[in-house]
Structure 1
Amino acid sequence: MNCWKSIYLNREFGTHRLTIFSMLLTLLYFIAFYLVFSLLYPTTKHAIVPILPFLGSLAVLFPIHKIIHWLPLTLAGLKATMKFEKGTMIPMMRCETCSPISRNLFLIAALSPAVIITVAAIVASVYMPTYVSFFSILAAINLGFSFSDFLYASQVLRAPKHAYVEDRSEGFHILIKRAS
């Protein structure tokens, strides 16, 4: 296989710029989510979530996000592993595959946490509108986590339909089969 493109987000955009864009996406999504539900349910009394359950929910949000990345790969029968890396302030989780995966499977795995957790937050907000602020914060933070996933997905969408994606610790390689 030939490498069609290598994607290194930290080199291309820089860690600080990625963090700023992620936070901006989080803020904009929170405003949009909360505004829409405030318009749909204008007379709702908002409940205050105690700080410990709120912080606990935030603490498990990132591992759940990574597990949802891992789940489609495992259900497809691939050997995918979860690795823990020691970060600067907090330990980081990383989902890795041993072999290149198809473009479509990569897109499903990359976008599934954003879709699943956002849909779950919307459904929970519809059924429990008093906790809309809590669910909107969780969904917004999850979308902030998904910002780099969106960038990877946008790059992979431009790849040929029968491409494969190889996961590396520093980024991704989009591979295509050699012409015979």
Structure 2
Amino acid sequence: MTCWKTLNISKEYGQHRLTILSIFLGIISFIVLYIPFSILHQNAPLHDPALWQVMLGLLILPILHKLAHAFPITFTSKEFKLKWYFKYRYIPLLKLKVRSSLSKRTSIIMMLAPTVVITIPLLIGATVFPMFYPILIVFASIHIGISLTDWLILSFFVKAPKKCIVEKTKNNYDILVQSP
């Protein structure tokens, strides 16, 4: 196998730039989503969730994002490991480690899964439950910002050769092709 491309998104774009772009994307997506939903639900009575519910939702969102990445792998015969750890002693995070290589198709599905499993249901929920649309749009916008790195990685996976495999190392994704 020959390495076609090694992806280290934080090294390629810079961690500070990714953070700024992610925040900017979250704010822009909130503005773009809030305007049509506020027009759609003009006369709907709003329900304010308690602060602890919002904070709990914000803590759970990155964990659900990582679990959504693991969801497509459960349908393959590949082994993976989920490991809990705490950032700053209070923020629970989840780390996903795939023990073998994945096909291009599985890698693309794995990168798209959080958008399909989290963002789209939040937007559908904002349509169906007009009393909760502001908070659901806030969560959807935050998740869109979190998903920025997934979409950047996905763009490289889509451009990769058809018969490639993807291996995840500690900080990189290696796209491997069969040597001629």
TM range (shorter): over 0.9
Measured against aligned partners, the alpha-carbon deviations of 1:59-80 in whole angstroms (never above 9, x if no partner) come to: 1111111111001011122111
Q: Which residue is equivalent to 2:27? A: 27
Shift of 1:38: 1.0
Could you list the runs of 5+ residues in structure 2 that have no partner in the other structure?
A: none
CA distance in structure 2 between the partners assigned to 1:111 and 1:87 by the alignment: 25
Is this contact kept in 1: 2:8–2:172, CA < 8 A?
Answer: yes
With structure 1 as the length reference, what TM-score do the two structures score?
A: 0.93
Shift of 1:156: 1.0
- The size of the alignment, in residue pairs, is 179
CA distance in structure 2 between the partners assigned to 1:91 and 1:63 by the alignment: 8
CA distance in structure 2 between the partners assigned to 1:81 and 1:171 by the alignment: 17
CA distance in structure 2 between the partners assigned to 1:81 and 1:145 by the alignment: 21
User: 1:115 aligned to 2:116?
Assistant: yes
Amino-acid identity (%): 29
Q: CA RMSD in A?
A: 1.5
CA distance in structure 1 between the partners assigned to 2:20 and 2:122 by the alignment: 24
Q: Which residue is equivalent to 1:131? A: 132
CA distance in structure 2 between the partners assigned to 1:57 and 1:87 by the alignment: 17
CA distance in structure 2 between the partners assigned to 1:8 and 1:35 by the alignment: 36
Shift of 1:150: 0.4
Q: Which residue is equivalent to 2:144? A: 143
Q: Which residue is equivalent to 1:37? A: 37
Shift of 1:132: 0.5
CA distance in structure 1 between the partners assigned to 2:74 and 2:158 by the alignment: 22
Is this contact kept in 1: 2:70–2:96, CA < 8 A?
Answer: yes
Is this contact kept in 1: 2:63–2:93, CA < 8 A?
Answer: no
CA distance in structure 1 between the partners assigned to 2:152 and 2:120 by the alignment: 20
Q: Which residue is equivalent to 1:2? A: 2
User: 1:94 aligned to 2:95?
Assistant: yes
Measured against aligned partners, the alpha-carbon deviations of 1:34-68 in whole angstroms (never above 9, x if no partner) come to: 11211222222222111011111111111111111
With structure 2 as the length reference, what TM-score do the two structures score?
A: 0.93
CA distance in structure 1 between the partners assigned to 2:85 and 2:47 by the alignment: 37
CA distance in structure 2 between the partners assigned to 1:54 and 1:112 by the alignment: 23
